[in-house]
């Protein structure tokens, strides 16, 4: 089918939103939110995520251990767990609603007004998913910087640094934000055409004079037989 400009914008929003949602899910699973390199043992690297902490040794490999208690985690990791899970739900719901609002999706009960509202709602949800992804990632990054430059900690104590999952989380938030903006922009491009719900347009009566045919839409009426 031939895509209109509005349809191509909407398709681009779907692609970016899906890419951002997948990257957000991967960010949540990855343990590389923080990394720690020991100067005394360069062959050993520690990494920490939302769900587990791992140590990578060249001879042994990578050994991970899940966190036993949620309440024992730092505050930024506790809030990040909740916000990232909320981001997945909002992003998935926004994708489903925006997909139903695309021009290639045909359903006899979805008119123009409903499709536009679905695009606007889907774009808003994607923007919310972007926010709930960027906030925890940025908070963990801020806490890492704060602890790294803490003067009260002796210099001999190892410091945590940024992990690769943080950069992937920032990219996911940007992708979902762009996808949401494209959804809203595609809804604004839609023409304001009224829709007649559950109405069957039929041809005008054959007995009507030609000069009275003004292009009006006639609605088919159904006769009802009442049996007593």
Q: Indicate the domain borders of the chain.
A: 5-196
Fold category of 5-196 in CATH: Butyryl-CoA Dehydrogenase, subunit A; domain 3 (1.20.140)
Helix axes 112-148, 164-189, angle to 10 degrees: 160
pTM over 0.85: no
The phi, psi pair for 83, rounded to 5°, reads -70, -35
pLDDT at 37: 83
What's the average model confidence in pLDDT over 204-220?
A: 42
Report residue 24's pLDDT band, with 50, 70 and 90 as the boundaries: very high
d(CA 41, CA 63): 16
Question: Which position has the token pair 């410091």?
Answer: 159
d(CA 184, CA 182): 5
What's the average model confidence in pLDDT over 11-24?
A: 95
Question: Could you report the per-residue pLDDT of 33-58, keeping only the tens digit for each?
Answer: 999 987 666 678 899 999 999 998 87
Q: What is the DSSP letter of 59?
A: T
In 125-161, which positions are buried (b, 16+ CB within 10 angstroms) versus exposed (e)?
Answer: bbbbbbbbbbbbbebbbebbeeeeeeeeeeeeeeebe
Question: Could you report the per-residue pLDDT of 71-85, keeping only the tens digit for each?
Answer: 889 999 999 999 999
Report residue 106's pLDDT band, with 50, 70 and 90 as the boundaries: low
Q: Give percent of the chain with pLDDT exceeding 90.
A: 48
Contact 126, 172 (CB under 8 A): no
């Amino acid at each position: 089918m031939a895509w209109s400009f509005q349809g191509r914008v909407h398709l681009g929003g779907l692609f970016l939103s899906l890419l951002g949602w997948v990257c957000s899910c991967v960010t949540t699973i990855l343990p590389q939110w923080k990394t720690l390199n020991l100067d005394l043992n360069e062959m050993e690297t520690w990494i920490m995520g939302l769900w587990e902490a791992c140590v990578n040794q060249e001879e042994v490999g990578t050994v991970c251990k899940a966190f036993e208690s949620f309440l024992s985690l730092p505050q930024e990791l506790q809030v990040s767990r909740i916000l990232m899970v909320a981001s997945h739900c909002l992003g998935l719901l926004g994708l489903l609603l925006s997909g139903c609002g695309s021009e290639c999706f045909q359903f006899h009960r979805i008119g123009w007004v409903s499709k536009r509202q679905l695009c606007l709602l889907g774009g808003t949800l994607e923007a919310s998913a972007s926010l709930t992804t960027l906030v925890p990632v940025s908070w963990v990054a801020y806490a890492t910087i704060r602890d790294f430059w803490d003067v009260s900690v002796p210099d001999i104590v190892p410091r945590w640094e940024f992990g690769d999952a943080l950069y992937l989380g920032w990219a996911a938030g940007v992708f979902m934000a762009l996808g949401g903006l494209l959804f809203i922009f595609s809804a604004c491009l839609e023409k304001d055409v009224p829709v007649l719900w559950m109405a069957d347009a039929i041809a005008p009566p054959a007995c009507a004079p030609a000069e009275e045919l003004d292009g009006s839409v006639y609605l088919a009426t159904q006769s009802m037989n009442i049996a007593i």
